[in-house]
Homo-oligomer: A and B are copies of this chain.
Amino acid sequence: MSALEPTRALARYLVQARGEDLPAAVRHEAARALLNFMGCAIGASRHATTGRALAAVREFAGPPQATVLGRGERLDCLNAALVNGISAHVLDFDDTHAQAIHPSAPVWPALLACSEWRRVSGPELLNAFVLAVEAEERVGLSVFPEHYQAGWHITGTAGMFGAAAGVGRLLRLDEQRMAWALGIAATQASGLQEMFGSDCKSLHPGRAAQGGMTAALLAAAGFTSSERAIEAPRGFGHVLSTKFDPAVITEGLGSRYELLSNMYKPYACGLVVHAAIDGCIELSREHGLAPDAIEAVELTVSPLVPRLTGNPAPRTGLEGKFSVFHAVAAAMIHGAAGEAQFNDACVNDARVVALRARVSLKVDERIGRTEARVAIRTRDGRVFLAHVPHALGTLARPMSERDLEDKFRALAADVLPEPRIRNLIDLCWTVEKLDDAGALARAAAAPAPAPA
């Protein structure tokens, strides 16, 4: 396979790889990614960003082929992929590959839309997802980190390849057309980091899902592209990056799976804060520490923590995500650090404000990015210590199935009634048994909320 150029080698692999050859651990990771994705998309289904996107495209949408996850509307597949790709990313709570790229948000929206439109079995869906992740991660890593450092939002650029590959597989493209699909994806790849902090950040995976699916549909209709779109001198690798390593794309295809490097966030904020939150929740729970009983919380953290999350007095939910002081205070009071702990109300809650004033930081160069030490002193003079070598959700200490279910429940609680939540969790864990994978997205539909 390594004798082939990367676009061709990748196309061949995507067309030939058999679902029955996937290791069980990879298939299971795909189900975990699915549950996590569903929670993120459903949890943001009524977010203002999602609402704006839906309002903008609704009037132009085609037949009701696919569900807007967590909502009552149905749109044509391409518009549903766009909106669901936006909602999946808007909370910044979706999965992350250990090196780069949020793999699920650009891919699942396209695959799920496709599954409602054409008959797709559960095993076919899982296989397409695994292959899509291989495509996007390998293309992304082939230009990483220079591509990212140049200012590209790699989830948008590389994600386009994932959606094209996954939908192309569901459409059973031949090798020639799969190569075209990858090329049509390459020539649509876009997304600037300058958009971080605006609605456009989540537009990127939305556009990747929509554009990648369009690429596969165009290729299926015989729409031609360069067949060397990734490696050619004026192709993706060289135009969008100063580094391009084709071996990253071709080596170990079918034996090494990038999906096994996938991580899920237990907390709705940046990864660098997670270990401190872990330690604080652990000590509070274990010793039943009431917030009022706490005199001081001292965190020993990596230098990244104050640099990225050093805001001592956030005023909004979004600012709260960039305040380690808020994050640990809210986590100790609520025993969690989900979306509910990063809304405006929680950030301005007097109990949280009071506790976060008693949190202090000590920086230690030797502390890793996902590590923390926590010392809590109570008013009665006791001191409790915790060392978190690896935050929950890292590869060294992955979220358990139960953790993922709890996260899903918290995200879906205000959107879906309990029986539907239970049902959707079951469907995700048993996706391999589904004859009709369209059941997944249909089960994620919710009636529109009553007008306020």
Do A199 and B187 form a contact, CB below 8 Å, given A56-B218, A151-B239? no
A386 to B203, CA, bound (A): 57
Structural contact, B189 and A190, CB atoms closer than 8 A = yes
Number of copies of this chain that the complex holds: 2
* B150 near A194: Cβ-Cβ < 8 Å: no
A195 to B59, CA, bound (A): 32
Of the stretches A132-140, A229-237, A300-308, A408-416, the one at the interface is A229-237
CB distance from A10 to the nearest CB of B (A): 16
A188 and B214 within 8 A (CB)? no
Q: Residue A369 at the B interface, CB < 8 A?
A: no
Q: How far is the CA of A190 from the CA of B239 in the complex (A)?
A: 11
User: Which residue of the partner chain, among B56, B220, B223, contacts A223 with CB atoms under 8 Å?
Assistant: B56
Kindly specify which of A14-22, A47-55, A418-426, A437-445 makes contact with the partner chain.
Answer: A47-55
Is residue A192 within 8 Å, beta carbon to beta carbon, of the partner chain? yes
A116 within 8 A of B: no
User: A222 to chain B: which residues have CB within 8 Å?
Assistant: 52
Instruction: Kindly identify which residue among B60, B79, B198 contacts A77, using a CB–CB cutoff of 8 Å.
Output: B60
| Total number of A residues with any Cβ neighbor in B under 8 Å | 59
Bound complex: CA of A153 vs CA of B63, how far in Å? Answer: 33
Q: A76 at interface (Cβ–Cβ under 8 A)?
A: yes
| Whole-angstrom distance between the Cβ of A414 and the nearest chain B Cβ | 23
Closest residue to A193 on the B side, CB-wise? B234
In the complex, whether A338 has a CB less than 8 A from a CB of chain B is no
Closest B residue, CB atoms, query A216 = B56
Asked if A265 lies at the interface with its beta carbon under 8 angstroms from chain B, I say no
- Interface contact A220-B183, CB-CB below 8 Å: no
Q: Are A187 and B183 in contact (CB under 8 A)?
A: no
A152 to B187, alpha carbons, bound, how many Å? 9
Contact call A236/B187, Cβ cutoff below 8 A: no
Chain B residues, CB < 8 A from A150: 239
Assembly CA distance A361 to B385 (angstroms): 87
Contacts of A189 in B (CB 8 A): 190
Whole-angstrom CA separation of A56 from B204 in the bound complex = 22
What is the 8 Å Cβ interface bit string for chain A, positions 208-230, against chain B (1 contact, 0 not)? 00000010011011111110110
Q: Is A377 in contact with chain B by the CB < 8 A criterion? A: no
B65 touches A225 (CB 8 A): no
Residue in contact with A62 in the complex, picked from B76, B186, B198, CB distance below 8 Å: B76
Interface residue? A197 (CB, 8 A): yes
Judging by beta carbons under 8 Å apart, are A190 and B192 in contact?
A: no
Nearest CB on B from A234, distance (A): 4
The chain B residue with its CB closest to the CB of A61 is B62
* In the complex, residue of chain B having the shortest beta-carbon distance to the beta carbon of A198: B224
Q: A327 vs B149: C-alpha distance in the bound complex, in angstroms?
A: 47
B223 touches A195 (CB 8 A): no
Closest A-B pairs by Cβ, 5 of them: A151-B234, A151-B239, A56-B221, A194-B234, A60-B76
Q: Using a CB–CB distance below 8 Å, which chain A residues touch chain B?
A: 49, 52-53, 55-57, 59-63, 65, 76-79, 150-153, 156, 183-184, 186-195, 197-200, 203-204, 207, 214, 217-218, 220-226, 228-229, 232-236, 238-239
Sample (25) of A-B pairs whose CB atoms are under 8 Å apart: A53-B223, A55-B221, A56-B220, A56-B221, A57-B214, A150-B239, A151-B234, A152-B239, A183-B194, A183-B195, A183-B200, A187-B190, A187-B192, A188-B190, A192-B226, A192-B234, A192-B239, A193-B239, A194-B234, A194-B236, A195-B225, A195-B226, A198-B226, A199-B225, A203-B218
Further 18 A-B residue pairs, CB within 8 A, beyond A183-B195, A194-B235: A52-B223, A53-B223, A57-B217, A60-B76, A61-B62, A153-B187, A183-B194, A184-B203, A187-B203, A192-B236, A193-B234, A193-B239, A194-B228, A194-B239, A199-B218, A199-B223, A199-B224, A200-B223
